Amino acid sequence: MTSNRPIINDRARGHPELDIVRRHCRFLRESQWWSAADLRDYQWRHIKRVYAHVLRHVPLYQDLYEGRSSHLNNWDEFLDLPVLTKDRLMESDGGCHSQRLPPGHHALPVIHTSGSTGQKMEVHPTSVTEQFRAALSIREFEWHGVRPEGSAMVIRALITPDEPNYEALMEGVRAPSWASGYVAGLVNTGPGYFMDVGADVQRQVKFLDAVRPEYLMSNASNLVEMAELWTEDRRSRSRLKLIRTLAETLYDDYRKRIEEAFGVPVYDAYSSAELNSIASECAGCEGLHVQDENVLLEVLREDGTPCEPGEVGRAVLTGLHHYGTPFIRYELGDMVESAEPCSCGRGLALLRHVHGRTFTMIQRPNGSPVLSSALFHVLNELRGLRGVQVRQHGPERFEALVVCSGADAADLSKKIVQAFRGVLWPEVEVEVRVVEALQRSAGGKLERFVRL
Q: Are residues 425 and 368 in the same domain?
A: yes
Same domain, 330 and 398: no
Q: Sorting pLDDT into bands at 50, 70 and 90, what band is 2? A: very low
- Domain identity same for 41 and 63: yes
CA–CA distance, 429 with 450 (Å, rounded to integer) = 16
Average the pLDDT over each of 83-87, 371-375, 427-431 and give the range with the smallest value.
371-375
Q: Does the pLDDT of residue 421 top 80, yes or no? A: yes
Q: Are residues 334 and 385 in the same domain?
A: no
Chain-centre distance for alpha carbon 407: 33
**171 within a domain of the structure (yes/no):** no
Rounded Cα distance, 137 and 356, in Å = 22
Residues 351 and 374 in one domain: no
* Cα 334 off chain centre by: 10
Residue 141 lies in a domain: no
| Count of alpha carbons within 13 angstroms of residue 206, beta-carbon side | 8
Strands (E), 69-220: 111-112, 122-123, 152-156, 173-175, 192-196, 215-219
276, 128: one domain: yes
24 and 107 co-located in one domain: yes
Same domain, residue pair 20 and 116: yes
From 357, 376, 397, give the residue that closes a domain.
357
Q: Which residues contact 176 (CB under 8 A, 6 or more apart)?
A: 191, 192
β-partners of residue 300 are 306, 314
pLDDT at 1 (0 to 100): 40
* Res. 125: pLDDT tops 80: yes
CATH code: domain of residue 411: 3.30.300.30
Please tell me the total count of domains within the chain: 2
The reply to whether 335 and 431 lie within a common domain is no
Mark whether 426 and 375 lie in a shared domain. Answer: yes
Residues 349 and 395 in one domain: no
3 domain residue, yes or no:
no
Distance CA 132, CA 154 (A): 22
Query: In this structure, is residue 428 part of a structural domain?
Result: yes
Residue 19 reports pLDDT greater than 70: yes
β-bridge mates for residue 272, sequence order: 276
Residues constituting the chain: 452
Distance from the Cα of residue 286 to its chain's centroid: 17
Angstrom CA distances, 260 to 107, 227, 232, 257, 405, stand at 44, 8, 11, 5, 18
Q: Please state, rounded to an integer, the average pLDDT across all residues of the chain.
A: 88
pLDDT of residue 212: 96
Domain carrying residue 276 = 16-132+271-357
Q: Which of 357, 381, 406 is the last residue of a domain?
A: 357
Per-residue confidence (pLDDT) for residue 115, from 0 to 100: 53
pLDDT of residue 167: 85
Is 352 inside a domain boundary?
yes
Residue 346 lies in a domain: yes
**In which order are the strands placed within the sheet that holds 449-451?**
429-434, 397-404, 385-394, 449-451
pLDDT tens across 152-203, in order? 999 988 776 667 777 888 899 999 999 988 998 898 899 999 999 888 899 9
Q: What is the mean pLDDT of residues 109-118?
A: 68
Rounded to an integer, the average pLDDT of 66-85 is 94
- End residue of a domain, out of 357, 378, 397: 357
Same domain, 374 and 349: no
Tell me the pTM. Answer: 0.83
- 192 inside domain: no
- Give 420: exposed, middle or buried? Use CB within 10 Å, 0-12, 13-18, 19+: buried
- Which residue in 265, 273, 278 sits closest to 216, CA to CA? 265
Q: Which residues contact 408 (CB under 8 A, 6 or more apart)?
A: 384
pLDDT score, position 406: 66
- pLDDT of 119 over the 70 cut: no
What is the predicted pLDDT for the residue at 13?
Answer: 65
Digit-coded pLDDT (tens) for 41-50? 999 999 999 9
Residue 6 belongs to a domain = no
In whole angstroms, give the CA distance from residue 338 to residue 272: 18
What is the amino acid identity at position 430? V
The domain that holds 52 is classified in CATH as: 3.40.50.12780
pLDDT in tens, 371-403: 777 788 788 778 788 788 888 887 788 998 988
Per residue in 222-274, pLDDT tens?
A: 998 899 899 999 999 999 999 999 878 888 888 998 999 999 999 999 999 89
Between CA 362 and CA 255 the distance in angstroms is 23
